[in-house]
Amino acid sequence: MIEIDRVTKVFGAGAEAFRALDAVNVTIRQNEFFTLLGPSGCGKTTLLRVMAGFVDPTEGAVTLEGDDLLRLAPYERPVNTVFQSYALFPHMTVAENIGFGLEMQGRPRDEVRRTVGEMLELVRMSELADRRTSEISGGQQQRVALARALAPRPRVLLLDEPLSALDFKLRKDMQLELKRLQSETGITFIFVTHDQEEALTMSDRIAVMNEGAIRQIGSPRDIYDHPAERFVADFIGDTNFLEAELLSKEEARAEVRLASGAAVTARAAEGGAEAGAVTLAIRPEHADLAPEGEGLLPGRLSDVVYFGTDTHFHVDLDAGGRFVVRRQNTPDRAEARAPGERVAVRFGARVGQVLRD
């Protein structure tokens, strides 16, 4: 639906020039909840602003169902934005705020009233319709900002870290709420965040960005279970990195030898080395502890850290380096292991991911 084709943005000129986006390519599908995820300064807001029309790209094209978006002024685009600061009018009521854009467009009074009513219901704010927005909570203001952006029924809604001002509990609730709004309205949502959990829980697909480039695009599961490179594996969740030797590779299947001498089957990201030294990434909860001699990587337990929902076991590997195994706690399982014990780390075939870099 939205096609971003080799979009580059250079801010400034000469020695001051800074490449905030570097030939970014991505296609966003209709009705998709699509998230741009990356650390501060990676260019995600700039990419969103290019789509909104607030930033002109230095090079590249942006089309919406084949139509050139770049030749349209921001207000002419079938796109609306929800910002981090909601920018509501404090002296107006909830209903007036939601209807404001529609009135500015000169829509008939009946239509405005009907749409505002629908939007109030959609964000579950009907009861507070006549309250001023200065007299409602942060979470409620967020809902009003969403309703106001959805009211003109844009084809695409751009959301720039809209939940970052909310406290933890409210943010969790709003994550579900946003997902519901997206599926009920069928509007394509493009969501910017640096919060990996937010991205994983809400998105149909995620584009992980770093230094002005998209490093990987995939479903939350793809990205989490099969990170293609070290940056992605490191940025999202916790990961163990193991040095290994790539023995053979056929499409996504690789045979590797670990530093302990054990050989295992792993998955391989597209591209990357065909043989020689590689890095294997393994999530802590995808591995387990075994008695010494029965696992792949022998070592000594150095720390056992209880986290309530799970326990982390830190293993100093005999072959060098440290490996963390995470195990879900259950009320009937008392953890008998103690630091100093000899153990081995084990993990199944195709659990390890051979990284591209």
Contact status: 54 vs ligand ATP (CB under 6 A): no
Is residue 249 within 8 A of residue 268, CB to CB? The reply is yes
Contact status: 42 vs ligand ATP (CB under 6 A): yes
**Minimum distance from CB of 14 to ligand ATP (Å)?**
13
Stretch near ligand ATP under the rule CB under 6 A, chosen from 33-41, 114-122, 237-245, 336-344 = 33-41
Contact status: 210 vs ligand ATP (CB under 6 A): no
Q: Which of 24, 32, 43, 120 binds ligand ATP (CB under 6 A)?
A: 43
Contact status: 194 vs ligand ATP (CB under 6 A): yes
**Minimum distance from CB of 232 to ligand ATP (Å)?**
15
Q: Which of 6, 17, 18, 105 binds ligand ATP (CB under 6 A)?
A: 18
**Minimum distance from CB of 190 to ligand ATP (Å)?**
13
Number of CB atoms found within 10 A of residue 50's CB: 24
Residues of span 57-76 touching ligand ATP by CB under 6 A:
none
**Minimum distance from CB of 160 to ligand ATP (Å)?**
8
Binding-residue pattern over the window 146 to 185 for ligand ATP, x denoting contact by CB under 6 A = ----------------------------------------
Stretch near ligand ATP under the rule CB under 6 A, chosen from 39-47, 112-120, 218-226, 344-352 = 39-47
Contact status: 20 vs ligand ATP (CB under 6 A): yes
Q: Which of 2, 24, 44, 146 binds ligand ATP (CB under 6 A)?
A: 44
Closest CA to 299 of 255, 258, 328, 352: 258
Q: Which of 26, 28, 35, 46 binds ligand ATP (CB under 6 A)?
A: 46
Closest CA to 234 of 216, 251, 249, 252: 216
Contact status: 40 vs ligand ATP (CB under 6 A): yes
Which residue type occupies 155? R
Q: Which of 2, 37, 45, 260 binds ligand ATP (CB under 6 A)?
A: 45
**Minimum distance from CB of 60 to ligand ATP (Å)?**
15
Q: Which of 1, 22, 23, 41 binds ligand ATP (CB under 6 A)?
A: 41
Burial group, residue 343, by CB count within 10 angstroms (0-12, 13-18, 19+): buried
Contact status: 218 vs ligand ATP (CB under 6 A): no
| Nearest residue (beta carbon) to ligand ATP | 45
Contact residues for ligand ATP, defined by CB under 6 A? 11-12, 18, 20, 38, 40-46, 194
